[in-house]
Amino acid sequence: MSNKVYTDYFFDEPAYNTHDGGYVPLERLDVPEQPLNIPPLLEPDRETETDTYYTLVAQAGETQILPGAKTKTWGYNTTLLGKTIVFQKGKHIHVTLKNELPELTTFHWHGLNVSGPIVDGGCHAPVYPGETKQIDFTLDQPASTTWLHAHPCPSTAEQVWHGLAGLTIIKDDVEAKLPFPRNYGVDDVPLILQDRRFHEDNQWDYHADYDPDGVQGPTAMINGTVNPYFEVKTQKVRFRILDGANRREWRLHFSDDLEFTQIGSDGGILPAPVRLTKLMLTCAERAEIIVDFGQYHEGDVVTLFSDDMPIVNFRIGKFAPDTQVLPGHLVDIPNPEPTPGLPVKKVVMSGMDEEVMLDGQKFNMQRIDARQKVGDVAIWEITNTNQMDGGMVHPFHMHGCQFLVLSRDGHEPYPNEHGFKDTVGVNPGEVVRIKVWFTLPGVYMYHCHIIEHEDGGMMAQIEAFDPEHPQTYHLMDMDTLMNAFAAERGIDVKDLWMAGMDSYDKMGMEM
């Protein structure tokens, strides 16, 4: 492992969300500390050597987040967020999807290389209230931390805000041989980073908080816990960190500038560990880190901060010494050569507020914006042209694949970007070059993962095609979805308000 320790956040400081006109700084609520909620594991319905069966239920409920009234929330197999799902590489996975919500939703497997658009669970795969559907897929990708969230255009942001976001973990034989902590909930701990504003009676009000540049709240909520603490019982702890917020960037550091080691990014384990004191995550990015608490003693408290705001306290207990050392090389990352003769695919992310667009237009559910042959290896150039008032970092996300970051403005990517990614933050005025290939045919979306931006039309879709097995896809249309939402809410469609609609109306564009 390199001795170099990185002590900056890498991204351009003038583009931090702290400079946004609508920035909502975090504030610490005056409520007692609570044990960090650890989402329980979702138990399979049954399992064989080759197949695993799950039932996944989107449900509404109430959750005791703050003292007093419970908060109305949504979750997967629980009232808030979701039970953590563990997949084994190579297994054939069968999932029963049940919608017990009062309105339609979708089940999007963010980070999974599965077929689109139905299994992928984007906007073309609605599951209506009271409906049950079946999907299945075989996982063929490395061990990683991925996630599940709702993706029904144009209500993705609101449904994630309600709580529909759960962690998924992929395991494989390569990762199993590495000297990593992996006792879930003890030394292998999820940290889902979100923020909310609590209104009267501890309720959330998405419409009241709406901002077309991304909804934020002043209260940090980690795994659904406000003011959490975690009892440290082992010298080293692996944290699987997800930026599950609609808009907020998280600039993370520990008290005492405690060093930590990043071992994984969105799509799996990094080729080599990276030592850091600071880590910035843009929306939907993941990072796996290992923290060594060996310099502390029983009774000490170590705090994780975002900027200057404490978000988790780690209470140090007794633990046995751990002298294991991470190897300098962790995994091999496939790096295929680009397919000869393919043009560079150029994508332009532009605008702020309601004016956000991708390649000069807003998303249309029935328009295919690009095509790429399954197995072809293409170079994509992602440009963020937005520099108004310092601009903002746009996190670019692709469905159905994991890509490699090749360069930023012709320079090396950030030190912790040398593994597989499905989301990459792009600074204002910057060109990020990535290497993209698909292993399965389908229709997939690519978009900004500030969720209000994707609802507002900063999204497009690509068909990954197999010329020897051409397919025809039934793509959902916006009128059908909007009429369904209106009927489910018991109102006329002309009275329907949903996140993103204002963005299309202001620009005079059809959804």
Q: What is the DSSP letter of 171?
A: E
Please say if the pLDDT value at position 31 is more than 70.
Answer: yes
Confidence of residue 117 (pLDDT cuts 50, 70, 90): very high
The terminus-to-terminus CA distance of the chain in angstroms comes to 50
pLDDT in tens, 301-323: 999 999 999 999 999 999 999 99
Please say if the pLDDT value at position 284 is more than 70.
Answer: yes
Which CATH architecture does the domain made up of 34-175 adopt? Sandwich (2.60)
* Fold topology of 5-21+179-316: Immunoglobulin-like (2.60.40)
Q: Which CATH class is domain 345-465?
A: mainly beta
Take residue 209 and report the two structure tokens written for it: 């908080």
Q: What is the pLDDT of residue 115?
A: 96
> Percentage of the chain with pLDDT > 70?
99
Let me know if the fold of 5-21+179-316 is the same as that of 345-465: yes
CB count in 10 Å sphere of residue 201: 11
Please say if the pLDDT value at position 511 is more than 80.
Answer: no
Please say if the pLDDT value at position 2 is more than 80.
Answer: no
> Percentage of the chain with pLDDT > 90?
91
pLDDT in tens, 129-148: 999 999 999 999 999 999 99
Mean pLDDT of 18-38: 95
Please say if the pLDDT value at position 294 is more than 70.
Answer: yes
Please say if the pLDDT value at position 157 is more than 90.
Answer: yes
Rounded Cα distance, 7 and 2, in Å: 14
pLDDT in tens, 41-81: 999 999 999 999 999 999 999 999 999 999 999 999 999 99
Mean pLDDT of 247-253: 98
Please say if the pLDDT value at position 11 is more than 80.
Answer: yes
pLDDT in tens, 375-432: 999 999 999 998 677 789 999 999 999 999 999 999 999 999 999 999 999 999 999 9
pLDDT in tens, 487-499: 999 999 888 888 8
DSSP calls for 112-129:
----TTTTTTSTT--B-T
Please say if the pLDDT value at position 125 is more than 70.
Answer: yes
What's at 460, amino acid-wise?
A: A
DSSP calls for 253-317:
EEGGG--EEEEEETTEEEEEEEEES-EEE-TT-EEEEEEE-TT--TT-EEEEEETTEEEEEEEE-
Q: What is the pLDDT of residue 504?
A: 85
Closest to 136 in 3D by CA, of 167, 112, 163, 159:
112
| Contact between 81 and 169 (Cβ < 8 Å) | no
Query: Could you tell me which residues come within 8 angstroms of residue 323 by beta carbon, excluding any fewer than 6 positions away?
Result: none
Confidence of residue 1 (pLDDT cuts 50, 70, 90): low
pLDDT in tens, 85-101: 999 999 999 999 999 99
Mean pLDDT of 114-134: 97
Q: With H, G, I as helix, E, B as strand and everything else as coil, classify residue 436.
A: strand
Instruction: Provide the greatest CA pair distance for the chain.
Output: 65
Please say if the pLDDT value at position 263 is more than 90.
Answer: yes
| Domain boundaries, given as residue ranges, for the chain | 5-21+179-316, 34-175, 345-465, 478-507
Closest to 88 in 3D by CA, of 26, 144, 158:
144
Q: Is the peptide bond before 338 cis (omega within 30 degrees of 0)?
A: no
